Amino acid sequence: MLNKLEHVGIAVKDLAVASQLYQSLLGVESYKQEEVASENVMTEFFKVGDTKIELLAASNEKSTILKFIEKKGEGIHHLAFEVDDIYVEMERLKKEGFILLNDEPKKGADNKLICFVHPRSSNGVLIELCQEIT
Ligand SMILES: CC[C@H](C(=O)O)C(=O)SCCNC(=O)CCNC(=O)[C@H](O)C(C)(C)COP(=O)(O)OP(=O)(O)OC[C@H]1O[C@@H](n2cnc3c(N)ncnc32)[C@H](O)[C@@H]1OP(=O)(O)O
Ligand SMILES: [Co+2]
C-alpha cells in the first residue's frame, strides 16, 4: 500500500527564481539541491510538514521536464507516494492494471528508489513510488 504523499513534483523553467518564490511562499529554506543525471533534472527540496515540495528544472535539452513545460507550462508534474517495499507495490499495481514506466526501480533523488506509473493509466496524473534507501 502507499503510506503517504512523499512529495509533489513541480516543473519549473528557472530553478533559482522558483526557489525564491517557494521559500517566500512556504516560509522555509530548501534543504537540498540535487542533480539526477539519469533523469536530466536538477531538483530542489522543501520540507512542508510531513511532506515535501520537489522543484524540477531541466538540466539539459533531453529533459522530460522541457517537453512537459512546452506542452503544459510550469506547474504540478507528479505526485510521489512513499512505499515500504517498491517491488511489492510495483507487482500489486501491475496486477491492478496500471502501466509502469520502468520494469525495475531506479535511483531517484533524496536517497530513494523510484518507479513511475504512466499518467494514461492514472487519470492523467503522473504517479511516482518512492522507497527510502537504508
Ligand atoms: C530525479 C528523480 C525525481 C525523484 O523524485 O526522485 C523525479 O521525480 S524525476 C521526474 C522526471 N522524470 C520523469 O517524469 C520520468 C517519468 N516520466 C516519463 O517517462 C515521461 O515524462 C512520460 C512517459 C510520462 C511522458 O513522456 P512522453 O515522451 O510520452 O511525453 P508526451 O508529451 O508524449 O506524453 C504522453 C502523454 O502523457 C502526458 N503527460 C506527460 N507528462 C505528464 C505528466 N507529468 N503528468 C500528466 N500527464 C503527462 C502528455 O500530456 C501526453 O498525453 P496526451 O493525452 O497523449 O497528450
Ligand atoms: Co519526484
Q: What percent of the chain has pLDDT over 90?
A: 100
Residue with the smallest CA separation from ligand 1 atom 39 is 119
Fold observed for domain 2-132: 2,3-Dihydroxybiphenyl 1,2-Dioxygenase; domain 1 (3.10.180)
Pocket test for ligand 1, best of 69, 78, 100, 133 (most atoms within 8 A of CB): 78
Distance from the alpha carbon of residue 95 to the mean position of ligand 2, in angstroms: 23
pLDDT tens per residue across span 7-61: 999 999 999 999 999 999 999 999 999 999 999 999 999 999 999 999 999 999 9
**Cβ count near 80 (within 10 Å):** 26
Query: In ligand 1, which atom is closest to the CA atom of 64?
Result: 21
Looking at all shown ligands, the one closest to residue 115's CA atom is 1
Whether 77 lines ligand 1, by a CB cut-off of 6 Å, is yes
In which residue are the cell numbers 517495499 written? 85
**Closest residue by Cα to residue 116 from 84, 88, 81, 92:** 81
* Mean of pLDDT over the chain: 98
- For 58-100, write each residue's pLDDT tens digit: 999 999 999 999 999 999 999 999 999 999 999 999 999 999 9
pLDDT value, residue 73: 98
Q: Is 41 helix (H, G, I), strand (E, B) or coil?
A: strand
Residue 11, C-alpha cell as written in the block: 516543473
